[in-house]
Structure 1
Amino acid sequence: MLVAVAVATGAAIETLQWALPLGRVVSPLDALLNATGAVAAGLLVSGLSAVAARYHGRSPGVGSRA
């Protein structure tokens, strides 16, 4: 799911740069690199969240309400 959203967002950004008169150069490589960065950031955040949950004695993805 993360990969699909990242690729779609990167493609949308490049499409807007092509469609709008912004003076920007459209590059499929930029869309791919944006998607790769988004996936890497998502995996990093997910991994850090799992480590923090284990550290605090909770199951990953389970929040607590005070």
Structure 2
Amino acid sequence: MDLLKAIQNDVLKQKEEETQNQFSSVADFREFILASHPSADVSVSLTMCCLHSERLHGDHGTRVTLVDAAQRD
């Protein structure tokens, strides 16, 4: 039972680490890659969410829009 509990805890810890926001910009990600010096056979990928926020007229709140960076105007 201890082994099962240890495995469950490891899986939960891994899921928690996967959901953390480690990088707030592409520059931060590049710095991480440069500092970690991955070997040539390591592939690194990054998925980022781009947001555009604006204050609404008359101080009636904030509008947040997801932006598709691939389809810029």
Q: TM-score, normalised by structure 2?
A: 0.34
**Structure with a larger share of its residues in strand:** 2
Higher relative contact order (CA 8 A, sep 6+): 1
Rg (Cα) greater in structure? 2
